[in-house]
Amino acid sequence: MKSTMLQYDRSVEEAVERLLQLGVFTSKADIFRVGAMELALKYGLVKSKDEVIEEMMYKDAESALRRLKSGKAKLHKIEEI
């Protein structure tokens, strides 16, 4: 983990202090980490939660389809279950 010293103006300081007072975050480091990740998401530098979930679902579906095609798995009608 890296460490960085930041200087920021009064309005940012007030926002940070208010977030801490409200208990939204427990540390200034958390506030800036979340802010950095939100910006990275906004500019497409990291995957969104939905993208990660979609990838996970695709991987599960892909293996399920392979099992179906190979005969190792079988589909049942909901009425039969």
Q: For residues 18-54, b (16+ Cβ closer than 10 Å) or e, as one string? A: ebeeeeeeeeeeebbeeeeeeeeeeeeeeeeeeeeee
Six token digits for residue 18: 């208010």
pLDDT one-digit tens code per residue, 20-31: 999 999 999 999
Q: Show me where the domains of the chain are located.
A: 1-46, 47-81
Q: pLDDT band for position 57 (50/70/90)?
A: confident
pLDDT of residue 3: 84
Q: What is the DSSP letter of 43?
A: T
pTM confidence score = 0.58
